[in-house]
Amino acid sequence: MLEVHDLTVRFGGITALDGVGFDVGRGEMVGLIGPNGAGKTTLFNCLTRRYRADSGTISYEGEDLTSVAPHTIASLGIARTFQNLGLFPRMSVRDNVLVGAHHRGRAGFLTAGLRLPGVRREERALRADADAVLERLGLTGVSDHPATGLPFGTLKRVELARALLGRPRLLLLDEPVNGLNAAEVEEFAGTLGAIRSEYDLTVIVVEHHMGFVMGICERIVCLDFGRKIAEGPPGEVQRDPGVIEAYLGTAVGDGDSPMRPTKEGA
Ligand code: ATP
């Protein structure tokens, strides 16, 4: 489904990604790990065309992603969530979720402005779809509540609901369990495992919580200073000496510890 080849991104003197390559097969759940500043979010930003790569290629379902317009990413079936939540605080949970369906509407500027019957039908259908996703994620009770003031764990699920409403085939999750307590992490893992097959998703998940990422992903890609230093099944990557060194000797995969490794000086 996705082939990343020799991807390099520089910011002035910093090489955020340095010749990174890996493939993701349809239906896979792949974990992207690495210490702070390793280049994980930069990679997501390339996949969603927020950043332009200096060199390298990204092929998604046979299409060259590096040359598509950024606004077409959602309609290609790629959705993401954000490390620091990308919700609109004053909008209701349902309206925040509906933002995820922006590319599914067919109405143009004029037809929407005139509120023609076709537009109202389309809005009803999208609202019904949003309500179904909200129910699936246990958010019906807060659907009319503004995003602001809701618990962090709930907001993480709202972000997931918004991404799902875009009907993605490839879902990119940036630190989905960061800030959640142990019970919430476990619940999120269960939900993600279930919706993955219900929604026929391929998932790439960036996460520092090793218990979560090693437990839920079939394959792990580890970056360090912009380079891929390891790739393989969780058990193998956890034992990889280069990965252990990158994490400054911290025992990778030690149960549920939500460790946030930091490199000296990074
Ligand atoms: P974290 O786990 O802390 O989120 P990360 O692995 O996602 O880290 P990135 O955010 O991709 O790492 O950053 C990789 C490097 O690129 C860092 O040195 C960062 O400072 C730099 N970087 C990322 N985005 C930009 C930008 N827009 N301008 C300048 N430098 C950037």
Round to the nearest angstrom and report the end-to-end CA distance of the chain.
Answer: 33
pLDDT of 262 over the 50 cut: no
> Lowest-confidence range among 1-10, 68-77, 214-223?
68-77
Q: Map tokens 């500027």 to a residue.
A: 109
CA-proximal residue: ligand 1, atom 3 (nearest): 36
pLDDT of 106 over the 90 cut: no
The average confidence (pLDDT) of the chain is: 87
The whole-number pLDDT of residue 116 equals 64
What percent of the chain lies above the pLDDT cut of 70? 86
Ligand 1 centroid to residue 65 C-alpha, Å: 21
How does residue 74 score in pLDDT terms, banded at 50, 70 and 90? confident
- Which ligand 1 atom sits closest to the C-alpha of 45? 11
CB 21 within 8 A of CB 5: yes
CA-proximal residue: ligand 1, atom 17 (nearest): 37
How does residue 265 score in pLDDT terms, banded at 50, 70 and 90? very low
pLDDT of 69 over the 70 cut: yes
Binding pocket residue ranges, ligand 1, CB within 6 Å? 11, 14, 16, 34, 36-42, 83
The whole-number pLDDT of residue 247 equals 81
- Which ligand 1 atom sits closest to the C-alpha of 12? 29
pLDDT of 260 over the 50 cut: no
pLDDT in tens, 114-123: 566 666 777 7
CA-proximal residue: ligand 1, atom 30 (nearest): 11
pLDDT in tens, 23-46: 999 999 999 999 999 999 999 999
Task: Ligand 1 pocket test: pick from 15, 20, 41, 229 the residue with the most ligand atoms within 8 Å of its Cβ.
Answer: 41
pLDDT of 266 over the 60 cut: no
- Which ligand 1 atom sits closest to the C-alpha of 223? 6
| Among 169, 175, 127, CA closest to 155 | 175
Ligand 1 centroid to residue 117 C-alpha, Å: 46
